[in-house]
Amino acid sequence: MKKEKNTEILSPGARVVRWVLSIILMIYTGITIFALSITVMDSLKSKGDIVTNFVGFPKQLTMESYFRVLKEANLLLYLKNSVVLTVGGTLGCILLAGLTAYGISRFDFKGKNFLSGYFLMGMMVPVQVSVLPLFLILKRIGLLNNIFGMMLVYASGISMACFIFQKFFHTIPVALEESARIDGAGDFRIFFQIIAPLCKPVVMTVALITAISQWNDFYMPMVLLGKKTSNTLTLVIYQYIGQFTKYMSESMAAVVITLIPVIVLYFLFSSKIVEGLTGGAVKG
């Protein structure tokens, strides 16, 4: 039996656009790989080697920079702070966004459209706009310069997560919930026992996007975490980069340590991002 070839007919203009986009993406990928390679190589060089040979391969591989960063900069403490903040903030964001999106997509109430539009607008507002009110609120309740207070800030950033969850909930048949209500199940039981298990792809997507964003965040911790004991990895890297000429190899080592969790997460779960984002494309 002969297989039919799946030929896609494109107009000349569409072909040109596709070629241009492909070239731009290849150039961007090449620059990113080059910069990442330089960072890794420089983190494995001695102080003298990195000054005279910044771009080339290391003359002799050494882990001195990593040992100095881990020991002298107390990087393990800041690593723990970043992990706690990212895990707590991501879990809180998923739970809050899931419940909010479920209520908006399943129940009719006054102001529903306004609330939905409010979260949509939240995706367009720069984070810098909300820093002063957040600073004053955290100071008033005694959670300024506190890991838990920063975690609450991260958990409350649900605009994009809520939008993705809403789109996904529209693809789940309402009949599932109606049959559960006939059996006497309440709203929370329906959400956690019936809806939540179906949301694995979208939960993975939201978790990855949120976790990577929070892990790499610099601006909010810089403003809201003044104590050195509550600093995150991004703040420590900034301190090293501020004295780059003195701590070149240490700066590179700190960057590599910070990048490792993000790269591992991306390669393990990158396919889930596409699956979760396209999960709500069946129904609008």
pLDDT, tens digit, for every residue of 53-69? 888 888 888 888 888 88
Q: What is the pLDDT of residue 283?
A: 44
Q: How far apart are CA 15 and CA 38, in angstroms?
A: 35
Q: Is the pLDDT of residue 284 over 50?
A: no
Q: Which residues contact 90 (CB under 8 A, 6 or more apart)?
A: 154, 207, 210, 211, 214
Q: What is the pLDDT of residue 281?
A: 45
CA distance 13 to 177: 48
pLDDT at 97: 95
| Per-residue pLDDT tens over the stretch 207-257 | 988 998 999 998 899 889 877 778 888 888 887 776 656 678 888 888 888
Count the Cβ atoms, other than its own, within 10 Å of residue 225.
21
Contact predicate 237/251, CB 8 Å:
yes
Q: Which fold has domain 64-278?
A: MetI-like fold (1.10.3720)
Q: Are 230 and 81 in contact (CB under 8 A)?
A: yes
User: Using N-to-C axis directions, what is the helix angle for 147-155 and 131-140, rounded to 10°?
Assistant: 130
* Average pLDDT score over residue span 118-139: 87
pLDDT at 101 > cutoff 50 = yes
Contact 250, 240 (CB under 8 A): yes
Averaged pLDDT score across all residues of the chain:
85
Q: Indicate the domain borders of the chain.
A: 12-52, 64-278
- 């997460």: which residue's tokens? 265
Please give the pLDDT value at position 282: 45
pLDDT for 2-44, tens place per residue?
444 545 566 777 888 889 999 999 999 999 899 889 989 988 9
pLDDT of 147 reads 92
Is residue 65 within 8 A of residue 253, CB to CB? The reply is: yes
| Alpha carbon distance 212, 216 (integer Å) | 6
- Tens of pLDDT, residues 69-95: 887 777 888 889 999 999 999 999 999
Mapping DSSP onto H, E and C, the string for 139-172 reads HHCCCCCCHHHHHHHHHCCCHHHHHHHHHHHCCC
- Would you state the structure tokens that stand for residue 89, as one six-digit string? 């903030």
